[in-house]
Chain A
Amino acid sequence: MSTLLTYIAVHDGKIKRSSLEVLSRCNELAAELGWESVALVLQPDATKAIEGLKPYGPAKIYTMSHPHFHQHLTTPLLRAIGHAVKEIQPRVVAFASTEGSKDLLGALSAAHGSAALPDMSEFSIDTEGVSGKRPVMAAKILSSVRADGSPVFVSVRSGSYNPEEREGEAAVQELSFSFNDADLRTTLREIVTATSDKIDLSEAETVIAAGRGVKDEEGRALIRELADVLQAGVGASRALTEAGIYDPSLQIGQTGKVVSPQLYIGVGISGAIQHVAGMSNSKVIVAINKDPDAPIFEIADYGIVGDLYKVLPPFIDEIRRIKSA
């Protein structure tokens, strides 16, 4: 039987929602084709992820445990995934599109002499290969692409599919992995910054994005307050991350993170192409900007023309009132 393998990303002990989205899509495709959808977890102790993964119904969970999987270390990850591919012989290896998978996809493809389809917004599988669509030209249009052969390495934009629980009892199989540190090649010296936000921006149901209009501490405090009331993740435009006002990990856009929340609220954001490329798939877009001609209003479902410093305080109060009602 042919196999679809989903790589499961875990951060701080929590399975990434975007990985469950990809797994759910693979489950669905495997059911259509009469194939098997399986999952791979690489963690210091990968067995810890099993219980969280089971409800999402992979036929089998492969675990590989090694202390190096605590961090993103390129060489051990390439070796481990290469080893898993050899053992499992999947037709497709699917990843959530993250900085972590972006780092690996090209090398995996070249190592196997097979195709990679990165950052897909939708994909299908048939007996010959993989086809689907991906945004190009700063996400202004879609290209249709296809890759035949096996294995095809696919990465999928977050929010493209819904994570869905399903019946079934997954079998668990441990794959052995050993690594000689002399083979590390690169050295991770330190983690320079780490975002302290409890809500992962790329997975948040609600995202507040701050732009150039957020000028000072007072503006930042308002963004924080709004995010707290809505239990939202906070992101920022490139202008604000480059100016050091927000952490670079929080940049939304072509260069940074892609978000596709249920609700996106852009505050003081003009809507430059490079930012829109990272948020245009949000379900409901609210924009607050004092410039009535800001391009963000062209894609906003609700555009508020006004000074964020005057709009946000009553907006926060009203949301708080609605929430407590």
Chain B
Amino acid sequence: MIHFYVCLKQVPDVYAPLQIKDGELIQDSGRMVLNAYDASALEEALVLTEKHGGKVTAVLAGPEKAKETLRKGLAMGADEGVHIVTEEGSAYDSLYYAGLLAAFFRDKEYHFISCGKQSQDTDAGLTGSMLAQLLELPYATNAVGLTLEDNRLLVKRQGDHGQEMIELPSPGLVTCSNDMNEPRIPSLKGIMQSKKKPVETIQASSLTGDGIRSVTTLLGYEEKPKREPGQKFEGDPEELAITIAGLLDSKENLM
């Protein structure tokens, strides 16, 4: 019986319109979603346990209102949930969350911890390998495929110049790319069942450990420098091709 813990994060919807006011990020919709990379990690754990038997526990560290995202994980098919409740509106960094999760995992038994490789809002991609380091687990990042083989995980990972097949022993930690699968949409039945699934609630303040602190400071947000508006050309394809090639040569000096 293989046991996966999958770490989930609630993130603002990066596709929704946003604006910056006095250095603060404001999203009118306020729409919060399950981090897409975490959804892929969960999907893969579900596929593997459906095939080989086992259990999937979804763990989410976040404020009270993030519980809906944990519910989504349960509706997708996780067997049980753990909500580590953090203070509302506080800016914690990756090391804080990794420290919190490490304190939670310290006395747990499991085969694998799986996380998204990064979160869609910050793209930092630190928490997974931080958590592995704090728990002294072997790890592999940026997985694009997972296979289970005698309680070992075969991780196909995307490297800089190709893909590598890495054998990860248990217990171990893997971080997943969204290039791995298409996460399932919870069915109505899944949503109904999720309401009966056990969720353990733990206050973040009750978890203790050396690593639970933020070491970076977010100073604020600003707009990216705007690009100069460009030109759009329509017309005969051949004429367009010659015009643009000419401009890239004469005006941009790129030939």
- A residues bordering B, Cβ < 8 Å? 11, 71-72, 74-75, 98-100, 102-107, 109-111, 113-119, 131, 133, 135-147, 149, 185-195, 202, 206, 238, 241-242, 247-249, 251, 254-256, 262-263, 273, 280, 284-286, 292, 297, 299-307, 310-315, 317-319, 322-323
Contact of B179 among A71, A138, A248, A322 (CB under 8 A): A248
30 contacts between A and B (CB under 8 A): A11-B160, A106-B94, A106-B98, A106-B128, A113-B215, A118-B123, A119-B123, A137-B14, A137-B121, A141-B20, A143-B218, A143-B220, A146-B216, A146-B217, A147-B217, A186-B139, A187-B166, A189-B165, A189-B167, A191-B164, A192-B162, A242-B179, A247-B162, A280-B224, A297-B232, A304-B233, A304-B240, A315-B245, A322-B245, A322-B255
Known: A75-B138, A322-B245. Contact between A188 and B164, CB under 8 A?
yes
Give the secondary structure class of A's interface: mixed
Known: A109-B130, A114-B215. Contact between A136 and B161, CB under 8 A?
no
Known: A115-B95, A254-B123. Contact between A192 and B142, CB under 8 A?
no
What are the nearest 4 A-B pairs in CB distance? A106-B129, A194-B162, A106-B126, A185-B138
Interface centre among B133, B138, B167 (most CB of A within 10 A): B133
**B133, A106: Cβ atoms closer than 8 Å:** yes
**A138, B120: Cβ atoms closer than 8 Å:** yes
Closest chain-B Cβ to A145's Cβ sits at a distance in Å of 6
**B125, A131: Cβ atoms closer than 8 Å:** no
**B217, A106: Cβ atoms closer than 8 Å:** no
Closest chain-B Cβ to A247's Cβ sits at a distance in Å of 8
Q: Which residues of A contact B231 (CB under 8 A)?
A: 301-303
Distance, CA A100 to CA B162, complexed state (A) = 11
Closest chain-A Cβ to B254's Cβ sits at a distance in Å of 5
**B254, A262: Cβ atoms closer than 8 Å:** yes
Supply 6 further A-B pairs (C-beta < 8 A) apart from A103-B141, A142-B221: A118-B126, A149-B215, A192-B165, A255-B179, A285-B227, A305-B232
Q: Is residue B89 contacting chain A, with contact meaning CB distance below 8 A?
A: no
| Residue in chain B with minimal CB distance to A285 | B230
Contact of A306 among B130, B228, B237 (CB under 8 A): B237
Known: A144-B222, A192-B164. Contact between A310 and B169, CB under 8 A?
no
State the interface size on chain B (CB cutoff 8 A): 82
Q: Which residues of A contact B125 (CB under 8 A)?
A: 102, 105-106, 118-119
Query: Which parts of B106-145 form the interface with A (CB within 8 Å)?
Result: 120-134, 138-142, 144
Query: Which parts of B76-111 form the interface with A (CB within 8 Å)?
Result: 93-95, 98
Known: A299-B227, A305-B234. Contact between A141 and B244, CB under 8 A?
no
Q: Is residue B194 contacting chain A, with contact meaning CB distance below 8 A?
A: no
Contact of B129 among A110, A140, A249, A304 (CB under 8 A): A110
**A140, B138: Cβ atoms closer than 8 Å:** no
Known: A74-B140, A115-B216. Contact between A284 and B248, CB under 8 A?
yes
